[in-house]
Amino acid sequence: MPIITKITTQAKNKERYNVYLDYGKGEEFGFSVDEYVLVKFQLKKGKEIDDLDLTEIQYADEVKKAYNLALNYLSYRMRSKKEVSVYLKSKDVGEMVIREIIHKLDEQRYLDDLEFAKAYARTQINTTVKGPNLIRQELKEKGIDKEYINISLLDFCSNDQLQTALKVAEKVKGKHQKLSATALRQKIEQALQQKGYSFSIIQQLFDEWDVEKEDEEEWEALKYQGLKVHRRYEKYSGWEYERRMKQALYRKGFSLEHIERLLEELKDQE
């Protein structure tokens, strides 16, 4: 059995030690260990180590290194169990060690998926315009159980959702003033769905918030869109030109009455 001949502190990490062994052919480097493992296994000069000892020491050191990695990862913010598992796996930590680390951190209350879910949901609700469905999906991707997700979203009441959804709607409306009222409504509905709002909340928003435009606003939007479509189809004439113009502008949500008025104005300008 090899004998420990020397133990030295690593130059770059004072909490790790290099252990040198003699297998009967002179001193050579054996392995490195964390200070915790050094003390746990009472490693010292002159101690004999068999193969089983080496296996246990190396496994304990793997666990300790992984534990330190996990603690450092947790020092920046709260994490879910899945996030820690994925992180350790990215650092080439074995599955058995990962399971042991997750169990240990769970026992020490460093990991708590319910508290993580509550904190995550609270942050998203207070600092973003995300709806509950999007937050729910994000928590699911982080490995949070459905029950915990439901609990974390209990405080996101419909009134709060409506207020946040209104911010999304107003921003979309500000960016798309040149759309018809119909097209604008579709844009807002699409944006709210992407942000994770349910159909019932979207419908309630439209019931309480008027997305319709004044006639003058609608007319200005039609002229803007109409000129763009006109440039595309001006190579046509007569019935073919009118057909294409009407189809294109109708698909954009404008009424036939307004479209025909615009076509008359364009004709008068010829």
- Averaged pLDDT, 135-154: 97
Tell me the per-residue pLDDT of 87-108, one tens digit each, with 9 for 90 and over.
Answer: 999 999 999 999 999 999 999 9
Structure tokens at 102: 């997750």
14 touches 32 (CB < 8 A): no
Residue 212's pLDDT is 67
Q: What is the reported pTM?
A: 0.77
Q: At what angle do helices 113-127 and 132-141 cross, to 10 degrees?
A: 140
Strand order in the sheet with 16-22: 3-9, 16-22, 27-34
Burial of 147 (0-12, 13-18, 19+ CB in 10 A): exposed
Structure tokens at 54: 């080496």
d(CA 211, CA 99) in angstroms, rounded, equals 53
Residue 213's pLDDT is 63
DSSP 156-180: --HHHHHHHHHHHHHHHHHH-TTS-
| Dihedral of alpha carbons 105, 107, 108, 111, sign | positive
Residue 270's pLDDT is 59
What is the amino acid identity at position 105? L
d(CA 159, CA 166) in angstroms, rounded, equals 11
Tell me the per-residue pLDDT of 160-197, one tens digit each, with 9 for 90 and over.
Answer: 999 999 999 999 988 888 888 888 999 999 999 999 99
Tell me the per-residue pLDDT of 146-164, one tens digit each, with 9 for 90 and over.
Answer: 999 999 999 999 999 999 9
215 touches 245 (CB < 8 A): no
Query: Which pairs from 146-152 meet CB under 8 Å and 24+ separation?
Result: 148/113, 148/114, 148/117, 149/117, 151/114, 151/117, 151/118, 152/114, 152/117, 152/118, 152/120, 152/121, 152/122
pLDDT bucket at 216, cuts 50 / 70 / 90: confident
